[in-house]
Amino acid sequence: MVKELAKQAVMVSTGPLKKGTLVSHSRIYDPVRQEQKSSEVWTEICNGAQNRARQRSVRLKVLSPKNYHNLGEFLDLVEMAILKKPEFLILPGTPLPGSKEQERLLCALNDYAGKIAFVNVPMDKEALNQLGDKVVGYVGMNEYGAGQRAAKELIFSLQGRSIDGVVVLKHEEGHFGHWLRIQGIKQVVEHLGTPVKEVYVGTENQIPVSLNGGKFGVITLGNRGTEAALTLKPEQIAGLIGMDMNPKVADAILDSRVRSTIIQHPRAQGILAIDQVLEYTGKFQEYFCGPTVVTSDNVRVFRL
């Protein structure tokens, strides 16, 4: 489905827009510096967008934070980008609704005269209404649906076995997309009477709480959470469901340490975001790239 969308979005004409900026909320991989703490997802989004921009003769500037995930630095970059007056902006709607960070982002975007495409992280409807028709659309995963699917995968993997609760491992704070995933998880799990606990693992992939004394199902919100969960003893985990995928996670799926992971096709997100801006017809559009479930049956197809 994602490949078909990408094919359909290719047009003969390039449209009037020739210069734009993509702003990431996480550090992308630099092959020269080779930083280890970079976002695989955002690196793929940027690669997809840059390749499509070159194909369509569009100049695309990419800005990303020096730190792995820093909302303050992300907002600085957005404001800096707007000062350069690009014809379009591609960025995530990361800050939580009603937060000071979202207020700052909306203030900057309200003063911006070009077109805006949100990618990877959606923005809530109230905020979209404030921005009006300058927003062309959203490309990314159905975040709430991804949470629901992860929870259903966990329940299926348990095959009727009882657990003491579900632990959700978070690796980023203040992230609207992750908040939506957690709501989806809770919607499925809590009506069964199973408690859900959120645990922050940080950028060091460390779990700050012990899971001793119980048997837990674990759902992660990204590769960093999955890698952290893999450091736990097998007897502590009744089932492990991840989100996103890198080589380590793919190997863990093949070794049956991870039951499945939910992926969002980041490279396709970058491709479609460029096409969405260039082919804007005056109507807000959404392209959902995922959620797609990866198991041992299909991991070799989707492995990066």
1-37 confidence digits (pLDDT tens): 545 544 444 433 344 678 999 999 998 877 655 555 7
* Sign of the Cα pseudo-torsion (180, 185, 187, 188, in order): positive
State the pTM of this model: 0.91
Is the pLDDT reported for residue 136 higher than 60?
yes
Band of residue 303 on the pLDDT scale cut at 50, 70, 90: confident
Q: Which has more pLDDT, 214 or 252?
A: 252
- Say which amino acid occupies 26: S
What number of other Cβ atoms are within 10 A of residue 38's Cβ? 18
Q: Which fold has domain 143-263?
A: Rossmann fold (3.40.50)
Band of residue 38 on the pLDDT scale cut at 50, 70, 90: confident
The reported pLDDT for the residue numbered 213 is: 61
The reported pLDDT for the residue numbered 255 is: 95
The reported pLDDT for the residue numbered 14 is: 40
Tell me which range, 160-169, 218-227, 234-243, is most confidently predicted by mean pLDDT.
Answer: 218-227
Q: Which of 9-18, 189-198, 199-208, 292-301 comes out lowest in average pLDDT?
A: 9-18
In this prediction, what percent of the chain has a pLDDT beyond 90? 73
Mean per-residue pLDDT of the chain: 89
What number of other Cβ atoms are within 10 A of residue 130's Cβ? 12
Cα–Cα dist 180/160, whole Å: 27
What is the chain's Cα-based Rg?
Answer: 19
The reported pLDDT for the residue numbered 31 is: 62
Is the pLDDT reported for residue 205 higher than 80?
no
Residue 234: asked if its preceding bond is cis (omega within 30°), the reply is: no
Q: Do the beta carbons of residue 28 and residue 64 sit within 8 Å?
A: yes
Cα–Cα dist 114/132, whole Å: 12
Q: Which of 15-29, 51-65, 185-199, 270-284 comes out lowest in average pLDDT?
A: 15-29
The reported pLDDT for the residue numbered 191 is: 82
pLDDT digits (tens, 9 = 90+) for 171-181: 988 999 999 99
Domain with CATH 3.40.50.2300 in the chain: 2-141+264-289, 143-263
Is the pLDDT reported for residue 166 higher than 90?
yes
Band of residue 95 on the pLDDT scale cut at 50, 70, 90: very high
CATH superfamily of 2-141+264-289: Response regulator (3.40.50.2300)
Is the pLDDT reported for residue 260 higher than 70?
yes
